[in-house]
């Protein structure tokens, strides 16, 4: 009987196949329904509806990446998320290469251990636990994703985890950009339920709590929750970088805006402040994958992560001892999403980094504000410039300026008396020069 079972397994592996969408199946779900363990569902460019992995050990991936292939709100699965993985899937279940947007929640993972890799999870709103990703399970892997502009408020003052809500289990979360998400608590990440997640080489920046606690991290509810953070960047998150209400936050070799004082520990919370932490502007510039690459020449996060070889950046075979771009400097770990071993995923996206944006500057005062704020910009040279305001879902709210300007500082008043409390993004474009700034409206 054992021999017969082994033969069946070999036969199953031998007939694993690729199911093509839409050439062979009109929808991703139709292909998943027909797939068996070991199959690959390969999805061509287009916009598709929500999906459920149905417990299958399959790879669901796109042909041309998230810039061309999206999964939006689906009538059958929107109550959980655009993508559901919740039926005991193992690491043989892989979701890769999609834009996942326009849902109450982007991805819902429960009681399973899939791999979610290389997606852009953006502009999801309404779920009160994890608008970008809800994750729980023995050992799921969340890696190399851009998790942006998700809003977990949903009308509730008990909303947690704009980017990620991490419940029990031991999720491995690394080399992600988690930015500009919004919630009442834990706008970047909320961890609870006695879980032991590990965050390595994540960039968690510019997330905003509207009312309560924890811009980058919020730990609560269970004293057994233990969160390990290594080689990460926590910067520009409003208000505190982290709050630890219950459980333990263990952080080392990371760039923390405001240092240890920016982590609020109270109730039954504990902080393990390890070695190697710094408090320095990471100096981002816009690269081909996201706006959060490190400045090639000046970022203090280059070669500043854990010096252990286990965390080394990929080595450039043409320059032994030096990192392979997008990692920078030597092979010692660069803090943030584009350093460490997980940076291998980004290699080959482009051979060279995009040039930095120009020297245009943009700021606002006051910020946060209650009804109006002055948006101040200055161009590096005279020219045509456009200044626009977008909401947290990326929708254009108002064009504040569109015309020709000299190099003198310009101040434009943004009147927001009719807008709801939220985070808004001001974006200045002047030829090849650009700049962005967040403004926070609080009633």
Report residue 9 as tokens.
């397994």
Q: What is the pLDDT of residue 368?
A: 67
pLDDT in tens, 216-248: 999 988 888 999 999 999 998 887 899 999 999
DSSP characters over 292-320: -EEPTTT-TTTT-S--SGGGPPPB-TTST
Distance CA 197, CA 226 (A): 7
DSSP characters over 223-277: TT-EEEEES-EEES-BS-SEEEEEEEEEEES-EETTGGGGEEEEEEEEEEE-TT-
Which residues, including other chains, have CB under 8 Å from residue 165's CB and lie 6 or more apart?
A: 129, 130, 133, 134, 135, 152, 186, 189, 190, 192
Distance CA 390, CA 366 (A): 18
Nearest to 238 by CA among 211, 275, 260, 259: 211
pTM over 0.85: no
Largest CA distance in the chain: 83
Q: What is the pLDDT of residue 157?
A: 59
Q: What is the pLDDT of residue 127?
A: 85
Q: What is the pLDDT of residue 222?
A: 81
Burial class (CB in 10 A: 0-12, 13-18, 19+), 321: exposed
Distance CA 94, CA 24 (A): 20
Distance CA 343, CA 287 (A): 14
Which residues, including other chains, have CB under 8 Å from residue 342's CB and lie 6 or more apart?
A: 143, 144, 174, 175, 200, 201
For the chain, 443 residues long, the average pLDDT of each consecutive 10-residue run is 33 71 97 97 94 96 90 71 95 95 91 96 88 94 94 72 93 95 90 93 90 83 92 90 94 97 91 97 85 90 97 92 93 97 80 45 70 80 88 78 85 82 80 76 64
Q: What is the pLDDT of residue 94?
A: 97
Report residue 121 as tokens.
């999870």
Distance CA 386, CA 3 (A): 70
Distance CA 206, CA 149 (A): 10
Residue 74, classed as helix, strand or coil, is coil
Which residues, including other chains, have CB under 8 Å from residue 119's CB and lie 6 or more apart?
A: 66, 95, 96, 97, 98, 99, 100, 107, 145, 146
């Amino acid at each position: 009987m054992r021999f017969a079972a082994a033969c069946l397994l070999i036969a199953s592996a031998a007939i694993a196949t690729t199911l093509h969408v839409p050439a062979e199946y009109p929808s991703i779900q139709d292909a998943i329904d027909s797939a068996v363990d070991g199959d690959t569902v390969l999805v061509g460019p287009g916009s598709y509806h929500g999906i459920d992995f149905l417990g299958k050990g399959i790879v669901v991936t796109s042909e041309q990446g998230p810039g061309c292939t999206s999964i939006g709100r689906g009538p059958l699965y929107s109550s959980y998320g655009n993508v559901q993985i919740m039926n005991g899937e193992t690491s043989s279940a892989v979701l890769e290469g999609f834009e996942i947007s326009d849902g109450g929640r982007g991805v819902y993972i429960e009681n399973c251990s899939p791999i979610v890799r290389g997606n852009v999870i953006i502009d999801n709103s309404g779920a009160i636990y994890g608008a970008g990703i809800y994750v729980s399970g023995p050992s799921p892997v969340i890696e190399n994703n851009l998790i942006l502009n998700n809003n977990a408020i949903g009308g509730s003052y008990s909303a947690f985890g704009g980017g990620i809500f991490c419940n029990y289990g031991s999720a491995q979360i690394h080399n992600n950009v988690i930015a500009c998400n919004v919630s009442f608590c834990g706008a970047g990440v909320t961890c609870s339920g006695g879980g032991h997640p590990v965050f390595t080489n994540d960039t968690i920046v510019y997330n905003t709590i509207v009312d309560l606690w924890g811009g980058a991290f919020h730990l609560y509810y269970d004293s057994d929750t233990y969160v390990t953070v290594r080689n990460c960047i926590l910067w520009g998150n409003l208000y505190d970088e982290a709050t630890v209400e219950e459980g333990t936050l263990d952080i080392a070799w990371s760039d923390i805006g405001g240092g240890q004082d920016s982590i609020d520990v109270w109730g039954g919370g504990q902080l393990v402040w390890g070695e190697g932490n710094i408090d320095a502007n990471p100096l981002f510039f816009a690269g081909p994958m996201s706006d959060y690459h490190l400045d090639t020449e000046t970022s203090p996060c280059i070669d500043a992560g854990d010096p252990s070889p286990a965390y080394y950046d990929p080595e450039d075979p043409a320059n032994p001892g030096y990192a392979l771009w997008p990692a920078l400097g030597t092979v010692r770990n660069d803090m943030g999403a584009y350093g460490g071993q997980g940076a291998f995923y980004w290699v080959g996206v482009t051979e060279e980094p995009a040039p930095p944006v120009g020297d245009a500057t943009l700021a606002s005062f006051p910020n946060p504000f209650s009804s109006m704020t002055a948006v101040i910009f200055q161009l590096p040279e005279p020219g045509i410039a456009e200044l626009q305001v977008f909401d947290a879902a990326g929708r254009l709210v108002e064009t504040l300026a569109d015309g020709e300007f000299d190099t003198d500082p310009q101040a434009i008043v943004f009147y927001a008396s009719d807008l709801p409390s939220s985070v808004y993004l001001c974006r200045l474009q002047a030829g090849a020069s650009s700049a962005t700034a967040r403004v926070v409206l609080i009633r």
